[in-house]
Amino acid sequence: MPFQNLLIEDKERIRYVIINRESKLNALNKATLAELHIAITEAFSTATVGGIIITGAGPKAFVAGADISEFADLDIKEGTELAKLGHNAVFNLIENGSKPVVAAVNGFALGGGLELAMACHIRIASDNAKMGLPEVTLGLMPGYGGTQRLTQLVGKGKALEMIMTADMIPAAEALQLGLVNHVTTPDELLIKAEEILNKILSRAPLAIAAAITAVNAGLKDSVNGFETEIENFGKCFGTEDFKEGVSAFLEKRKPAFKGR
């Protein structure tokens, strides 16, 4: 389906989802969030797609936040609805996805932009990237999962410092804090993202999906992560991929996983 605010490109089993509002530094307006929901859902349900790389169009920004021009007239009810819809339709959808999603952070990742990157399973940043949650400068606070996911990634003290000061941090500091997994030059950003994703795609897809679910379960109050791990570990034994993985090891060859 054609999108107004996204570019979609396939490179073998990798689906690129590129946020394409360069003149607005790829800010997430409602239309872009709706398209992201469709694009991500479609990628998860397309058998030929193994994983997703999300990045921003142009050299300057990944995503410079939610689109501030759409906030001006919102009231309490509408603000609550905006956050709830975003959480469910995009950010939780990505985090709970059955396929790996890598954020290639190619510049500013602010507010909803950093929240989008944090919902992804892995973050690679170019060395010119700057990250932060500046919502309090607008009289707001993070509303797309930022208070929770930043705290999970960098710890409470640093998360509160970043949220309360609204300071942007450079990629090198984000790496030191564990907010991003790797930092590269801008030219090498997508190469590194593809390298990591292709390695993941050479592993057993159902085992990857089960591991994502188990890791996420540990961060939810309503479920016990250890129980989820036991259950998902057991389920792996019922897959064809498990038999293929063990046979390949014993036969000293590379496994050919089918995701079954």
Is residue 70 flagged as an active site residue? no
Catalytic residue among 35, 95, 115, 194: 115
Contact segment (CB under 6 A) with ligand COA among 80-88, 107-115, 118-126, 196-204 equals 107-115
Catalytic residue among 135, 161, 240, 251: 135
Is residue 95 flagged as an active site residue? no
Residue 204 in the binding site for ligand COA (CB under 6 A)? no
Please state the closest distance from residue 54 (CB atom) to ligand COA, in A.
17
Neighbouring C-alpha atoms within 13 Å toward the C-beta of 178: 9
Q: Which is nearer to ligand COA, 69 or 222 (CB)?
A: 69
Q: Which is nearer to ligand COA, 15 or 21 (CB)?
A: 21
Residue 24 in the binding site for ligand COA (CB under 6 A)? yes
Question: What is the spatial distance between Cα 120 and Cα 181, in angstroms, rounded to a whole number?
Answer: 11
Q: Which is nearer to ligand COA, 111 or 245 (CB)?
A: 111
Question: What is the spatial distance between Cα 123 and Cα 40, in angstroms, rounded to a whole number?
Answer: 17
Question: What is the spatial distance between Cα 11 and Cα 14, in angstroms, rounded to a whole number?
Answer: 5
Q: Which is nearer to ligand COA, 83 or 200 (CB)?
A: 83
Please measure the distance between the N-terminal and C-terminal CA atoms of the chain and give it in whole angstroms.
28
Please state the closest distance from residue 140 (CB atom) to ligand COA, in A.
6
Residue 107 in the binding site for ligand COA (CB under 6 A)? no
Enumerate residues 35-94 that contact ligand COA by CB under 6 A: 64-69
Question: What is the spatial distance between Cα 100 and Cα 38, in angstroms, rounded to a whole number?
Answer: 17
Q: How many residues bind ligand COA (CB under 6 A)?
A: 15
Please state the closest distance from residue 195 (CB atom) to ligand COA, in A.
29
Q: Which is nearer to ligand COA, 141 or 230 (CB)?
A: 141
Token pair 């936040």: residue = 65
Q: Which is nearer to ligand COA, 97 or 134 (CB)?
A: 134
Residue 205 in the binding site for ligand COA (CB under 6 A)? no
- Contacting residue, 19, 104, 110, 159, with ligand COA by CB under 6 A: 110
Q: What is the DSSP string of 167-185?
A: --EEHHHHHHHTSSSEEE-
Cα–Cα nearest to 88, from 119, 67, 131? 119
Residue 145 in the binding site for ligand COA (CB under 6 A)? no
Residue 13 in the binding site for ligand COA (CB under 6 A)? no
Residue 134 in the binding site for ligand COA (CB under 6 A)? yes
Residues found near ligand COA in the complex (CB under 6 A) = 24-25, 27, 64-69, 108, 110-111, 134-135, 138
Catalytic machinery residues: 115, 135
